[in-house]
Amino acid sequence: MKNNHRINLSLLPSTSEVTEDGQLFIGGVSVSEVVNEFGTPVFIYDETHIKSKLNEAKKVWGKNVAYGSKAFICKYLVKLIDQSGIRIDVSTGGELSHCILSGFDPSRIVFHGNNKSVLELTRAISYGVGTIVIDSIDELERIEKLAVLNVKSEPINTMLRLTPGIEAHTHEYVKTGQHDSKFGFSIFAETTKQAVNRILSNTALKLSGFHFHIGSQIFKLDGYLEAMKVVAEFIKYYDIEELVIGGGLGVPYLNSDSQISITDWAKYIKDAAKSCGIDSKVEITAEPGRSIVAAAAITVYTIGTIKKIDNIRTYVSVDGGMSDNPRPVLYSSGYEAFLPNKMNSIGNLICRVVGKHCESGDVLVNNANLPENIEVGDLLATPVTGAYGYSMASNYNKVPRPAVVFVEEGQTKEVIRRETLEDLIRLDL
Residues that bind ligand LLP (CB under 6 A): 68, 70-71, 89, 112, 174, 213, 216-217, 246-249, 287-291, 327, 331, 388
* Closest CB to ligand LLP among residues 63, 145: 63
Distances, alpha carbon 10 to alpha carbons 2, 256, 321, in Å: 12, 11, 24
Smallest distance from ligand LLP to CB 157, Å: 17
Smallest distance from ligand LLP to CB 392, Å: 6
Determine the number of helices (DSSP H) and then strands (DSSP E) in the chain.
12, 20
* Closest CB to ligand LLP among residues 174, 306: 174
10 Å CB burial of residue 52 (0-12, 13-18, 19+) is middle
d(CA 158, CA 143): 10
Q: In the complex, which residue's CB is closest to ligand LLP?
A: 247
Asked if residues 228 and 272 have their Cβ atoms less than 8 Å apart, the reply is yes
**Per this entry, what is the length of the chain?**
429
Answer positive or negative: Cα dihedral of 49, 54, 55, 56: positive
Smallest distance from ligand LLP to CB 245, Å: 9
Helix (H, G, I), strand (E, B) or coil at 411: strand
* Closest CB to ligand LLP among residues 161, 356: 161
Give φ, ψ of 9 to 5 degrees. Answer: -65, -15
* Closest CB to ligand LLP among residues 217, 341: 217
Smallest distance from ligand LLP to CB 388, Å: 3
Distances, alpha carbon 250 to alpha carbons 274, 405, 412, in Å: 23, 25, 29
Distances, alpha carbon 65 to alpha carbons 214, 223, 242, in Å: 17, 20, 11
Smallest distance from ligand LLP to CB 247, Å: 2
Asked if residues 386 and 295 have their Cβ atoms less than 8 Å apart, the reply is yes
Report the phi/psi class of residue 397: left, alpha or beta, with left for phi > 0 and alpha for psi in -120 to 50: left
Q: Tell me which of 74, 99, 351, 358 is the catalytic residue.
A: 358
d(CA 219, CA 227): 15
Q: Which of 426, 424, 333 is nearest to 385 (CA)?
A: 333
Asked if residues 289 and 66 have their Cβ atoms less than 8 Å apart, the reply is no
* Closest CB to ligand LLP among residues 6, 70: 70
Residues 6+ apart with CB under 8 A from 207: 158, 159, 160, 196, 199, 200, 238, 240
Helix (H, G, I), strand (E, B) or coil at 93: helix
Smallest distance from ligand LLP to CB 284, Å: 15
Distances, alpha carbon 99 to alpha carbons 66, 68, 379, in Å: 13, 12, 33
Told to judge if 74 belongs to the known catalytic residues of this protein, a careful annotator would answer no
Classify each residue of 84-93 as buried b or exposed e, where b means 16 or more C-beta atoms within 10 Å of its C-beta: bebbbbbbbb
Q: Which residues are catalytic?
A: 358
